[in-house]
Structure formats: C-alpha cells, structure tokens
Amino acid sequence: MKRSSILVVSIFFALTSATAPLVSAAGPQTPSCGNYKVTKNEVIVGVEFPKGTYQINVFGISCTKVMGSKGLFAQFLKLKDKDPLPKPWSYLADAIGAPKFSSGPGVGFRVQLITPTPTPTPTPTVAPQYTMAKVRANNNSASCWTVINGNVYNLTLWIEAHPGGPSVIRGLCGVDGTSNFNSQHQNQSNPAQRLSGYLLGPLTN
C-alpha cells in the first residue's frame, strides 16, 4: 500500500475515533437491582421522592450496598433533607433521566419511580340526621330531646340542674319546645347561651 493511502486511512480512523459518541458518557446500562418501596413522601437534598415503588440501577457499585433497609438509598431517605449527603456522595441534578447519586466517576446508582402510591379518596363524612321521629323517641328523663327554633337539643343533663325545676324541662322532652322556650326566655341571652351547650344539630325532615 502506498504511503499516501496509509496516511488517508490513518486520518479517517483518527477522525471517527474523535467524533464517535462515548457509550460511558450516559453511564453504564446495567440490570435493575430490584425495587424499593418508599412508604411516605420524602425529600433528599431538596428533591422530592413521593411515596411509591422505585426501580434501582447501580453502576460501579454492588446492589447489596444500595438496596435494603441498611442500604445507601435507605440512609439517604433517613436524612430528611436536614443534612447533605455523606461524603463523597452527591446528587447529580443535571443527570438525564432518573435521579442519580454518585460517589465518583462511574460509581453510583439511579432511582426511577415506577409505581406511585395512589392517595386514598377520603370517605365522605355523613352528618347525623335528627328527625322529628327521633326527637319523639327520646321523650323521657333518661333521654330528653327537644326542638327549639329548628335545632335539636339533648337536655337530659339539664333536667335536674334547671333553676325552674325538673318538671319544666321534662315538659319539653320529645316535642317541639320552641314556643315554650321563647315565651319564657324571649330576649334573654343567658338561657340561649346555656342551651347552645346541648345542641345536637339542625332538625331534618
């Protein structure tokens, strides 16, 4: 082969070597070590890690050092964002793809959220229903309900303590006592305040 041909071939290989992408630039592609479940929302170095299942991939380090309750990822979660990562570990904020932790060139691990834990839908609270039928059923000294101005009150504990005598309150048990109460205590603030302590809720149909 002529010297000119050898020179051209050498230049070609030199150029292709310089321009070819480095496979290791994005980090080695390794099999997953498995999954790690984060049971509640956490923050590491200012980065949120919502509760859910994470897939962990390592490079330049064994899976056993990263996984498990005593592994590196578990240790980082326990920091609660109050402390920096233990040296020489750092979080690579500009890493492409999943969050990446590294302790040096070619050594570290990635964590990828694969299954977020759904937030349970709260069960709606059903307000108690206070009907006139229930008021009528509570019509004695052992359980004395009454209706005053559209609200239901349980006056059982007020029967013996009433300044006007127990019979006044017993007469309200199981009935709508609005007219009796208003005729006795119209424009009086103290009885109304006392009454508020026995409120059950509004009367429903």
8 Å CB contact between 200 and 143: no
**Helix and strand counts by DSSP (H, E) for the chain:** 7, 12
User: Where residue 153 falls among pLDDT bands split at 50, 70, 90?
Assistant: very high
pLDDT per residue as tens digits for the range 15-43:
444 433 333 333 444 568 889 998 888 88
At residue 30, the pLDDT reads 58
With a pLDDT cut of 90, the percent of the chain lying above it is 39
* Confidence at residue 73, expressed as pLDDT on a 0 to 100 scale: 92
- How far apart CA 30 and CA 58 sit, in angstroms, is 7
**pLDDT tens profile 163-183:** 889 999 999 999 999 999 988
Cα–Cα distance, 11 to 4 (Å, whole number) = 11
Specify the higher pLDDT residue, 127 or 10: 127
Instruction: Assign residue 129 a region (left: φ > 0; alpha: ψ between -120 and 50; beta: otherwise).
Output: beta
Report which listed range, 23-27, 75-79, 119-123, is most confident. 75-79
> Measured between alpha carbons, how far is 4 from 8 in angstroms, rounded to an integer?
6
Cα 56 to Cα 34: distance, rounded to the nearest angstrom: 6
7 has a pLDDT exceeding 60? no
Q: For all residues of the chain together, what is the average pLDDT?
A: 81
* Full set of structural domains in the chain with CATH: 27-116 (no CATH), 130-204 (3.10.120.10)
Most confident of 32-46, 154-168, 186-200: 154-168
More confident residue, 5 or 52: 52
CB 81 within 8 A of CB 46: yes
Whether pLDDT at 80 is above 50 = yes
The per-residue pLDDT for 94 is 73
Stretch 50-78: mean pLDDT, rounded? 90
Confidence of residue 129 (pLDDT cuts 50, 70, 90): very high
Report pTM. Answer: 0.44
